[in-house]
Structure 1
Amino acid sequence: MQKPFKTLDEQIEILKNRHLLVPDEEKTKKYLLSTNYYNIINGYSKPFLKQKNLYLDGTTFDEIKSLYFFDKECKQTLFNAILDAEHHLKSSFAYHFGEAHKDNPEAYLDVNAYNHEYSLDIAYIITKLHRIISANKRYPNNSIYHYCNDYDNLPIWILVDYLDFGDLYTLIKISPVKIQNEIARDMSDFIRKNNPTFHNNFQPAIMLSFIKNIHEVRNLCAHNKRLIYFKCRSDSMYFPFIHDQYHINAEDNRKNIYTTFISLQCFISNTEYSKLNNTLRKRMKKILFNHIHTINPNDILGKLGFPTNWQELPPLPQE
């Protein structure tokens, strides 16, 4: 069965028949035309429904639009912080991998440079790296071309900037434990900056589980998918020093946006984390709690994994 095309007028009529209040129909039609009915209505109506295809009494189109805008703003805020984390991880990985292979600058193409427990991942990443190099060395407008033509090799600290976050995660995962430990030690500096009492070890297995979920959230943000209701495919590992502060224990689910958000303090500076934290609070206050009235805005926070009234906690100091 095919889904028939609906004009903007028909879309408005559908919404009104579902008891959604649409005060300004012309303005709403323009918004639907620029935003896409499926993205905003199918993606963000659910919290406002009392049953299938029937909205809670008093629900307005502006409330659904505000939820959509809130979700979008949170994604942009998280994405910027994740880019910072990605940059720090790339720098750390490139340094320690390069240090471990001083006599072989292109060791990243050698299967012997990796942990053989991950043979399929090794084959995949070496093939991918070959493709990245081949695709870029043909065009004289990038550093890969420059190094391939002016030097005898292409070092990892040049190549690393051409990797996506998934490639970076794979490279760290398949690296020898010694390199993983060195990266985890570098990240421990960020944990201490955000939590001055931290004096423990940041175990590579925990680090990798955090990176895996951060990578999932990054892709969600980059492709503008819905943030609310999202769950990562696997739990991040329990890290008592961080999780205990937020009353998250070993038995709790750690797949949501909130647990991914707090894990970012292990990969970004205190200034970067404070900016992330405080911006999210502002978005919650300004958009959710000022523009959504039919439902309790805390219900939306709960769908993201955030505690009730989290936005009312004091802001973190920003330098």
Structure 2
Amino acid sequence: MDIKIHFLSIPGTDNFIEGTNFNDLYTLHMIDTNVSSIVFKNILFVEQYLKTKIAYLVSEQYGVYTNPKDLSNCNPEDYLYRNNYGRSDRGRNNILRQLKETLSSDRINDSVAHYANIRNHIPPWILVTNITFGLTIKWYNILSSSDKTRICSEFLQTPDLSIDEKKEFISISLDLLRRYRNKIAHGNRIFNLSGLPALPKKQLLDLSHNVLLSSEYNKNIGKSDLFAVILTCFILIDNRYILTNFMSDLIYTLNPYANIRMNGKSILEILGLPNNLFDRLDALHKQKFS
């Protein structure tokens, strides 16, 4: 969405609110760029966490051997053997084929090239370095029910949610982060993005330790917006140092504009974030690692 929409007296026109100046537009553009970079970086941490968890599980359960040239996925010795994965997913064979095709493409990285040329196998922890976040999520989606249970339980260790509730949250939250990441990568503004999946209310309120209120969620705050993405990163990243840096980066970027108002709104409000964002993130951080 174009930044200028926040400065229009009549939506859908080019009539700016009296007093709007170029500096306001430029300031908002720079804030958008900087916050996008911070969020993007932390979504990458979630992506790496997912890849690591899948690679460790698959190698432990199904071994380290795969043949990139065998696209039938019928070899029981191959960790991409189709019967290792959920039989109900119609796209299973296609996804397994996509995984192998990344190993045969001209875009393999140095790690894959080394294993392909020197070793006699390409283990899962090398495969994941060569695939996209989207394909990684597809790989997760075709895992067997028990394998999904293990990964979801590692991500979400709370005893207050059933495994089905955990699986629902992981599935939707990964899709939310993927879509948001793609929008940032394609240069979209992070202000008021629409069409993103909504996080399930019960799980979100529980996992955020109620730093998000039910009444706020009902008003679409923290449901599928920037605040939802930030909360999701805080929930899925289990590293005190990374989350401390996440907060510090946001504070460093946004605090200089704490007393600035544009069109009667604070910068945080324009971003769709609560004005006490940092207090909430600090409370969530303390609860998470208490």
- Structure-2 residue corresponding to 1:61: 22
Q: 2:71 is matched with which residue?
A: none
Aligned 8 A contact 2:137 2:174 in 1: yes
Cα pair 1:232 1:256 within 8 Å, conserved: no
Secondary structure at the aligned position of 2:35 is classed as: helix
In 2: Cα distance, 1:313 partner to 1:180 partner: 30
2:213 to 223, 235, 247: 247
Q: Which amino acid aligns with 1:87?
A: Q
**Which TM-score applies when normalising by structure 1?**
0.73
Q: What's the offset of the Cα at 1:108?
A: 4.9
On the 8 A contact 1:89/1:267 being kept in 2, the answer is: no
240, 248, 254: which one pairs with 1:278?
Answer: 248
Alignment pair present for 1:265 and 2:234: yes
Structure 1 residue matching 2:90: 3-state secondary structure:
helix
The answer for the alignment partner of 1:111 in structure 2 is: 82
CA contact (8 A) 2:62 2:79 kept: no
In 1, Cα distance between equivalents of 2:42 and 2:116: 32
For the structure 1 residues 143 and 312, does the alpha-carbon distance in structure 2 shift closer, same or farther, using more than 3 Å as the test? closer
Q: How far 1:93 sits from its partner (Å)?
A: 0.9
Contact 2:9 2:16 in 1 (8 A): yes
CA contact 2:191–2:272 (8 Å) conserved in 1: no
Q: Given residue 46 of structure 2, which amino acid in structure 1 is its aligned partner?
A: A
* Aligned residue in 2 for 1:85: 46
> What residue in structure 2 maps to residue 305 of structure 1?
272
Structure 1 residue ranges without an equivalent (≥5): 1-41, 190-197
127-136 vs 69-78, greater mean Cα deviation: 127-136
Change (3 A) 1:305 1:68: same
Please give the per-residue CA displacement for 1:191-212, whole angstroms capped at 9, x wherever unaligned.
xxxxxxx544561221121111
The one-letter amino acid of 2:101's match is: R
Question: Could you list the per-position Cα deviations for residues 191-242 of structure 1 after superposition, in whole angstroms to 9, with x for gaps in the alignment?
Answer: xxxxxxx544561221121111011111122222110011353212231312
The one-letter code matched in structure 2 to 1:301 is: L
Q: CA deviation at 1:152?
A: 2.7
Residues 139-158 of structure 1 aligned to structure 2 (within 5 Å): 142-158=110-126
Partner amino acid for 2:8? Answer: L
What RMSD over aligned residues (CA atoms) do the two structures have, in Å? 2.8
Distance 1:293 1:237 in 2: 32
Change (3 A) 1:81 1:294: closer
Q: Which residue of 1 aligns with 2:7?
A: 48
- Is the CA contact (8 Å cut-off) linking 2:63 and 2:79 kept in structure 1? no
For the residues of structure 2 that align with 1:63 and 1:282, how far apart are their CA atoms? 19
Residue identity over aligned pairs, in percent, reads 20
Q: Do structure 1's residue 228 and structure 2's residue 195 form an aligned pair?
A: no
Distance 1:102 1:156 in 2: 9
The residue aligned with 2:176 is: 213
8 Å contact kept, 2:227–2:273: yes
Q: Does structure 2 conserve the Cα–Cα contact (< 8 Å) formed by 1:228 and 1:303? A: yes
User: Take 2:115 and 2:262, find their aligned partners in 1: how far apart are those partners?
Assistant: 59
CA distance in 1, matches of 2:93, 2:272: 37
Distance of 1:179 and 1:276 partners within structure 2: 30
Q: Secondary structure at the match of 1:109?
A: coil
* Structure 2, unaligned runs of 5 or more: 68-77
Name the counterpart of 2:146. 178
4+ residue runs over 6 A deviation: none
Q: CA deviation at 1:173?
A: 1.2
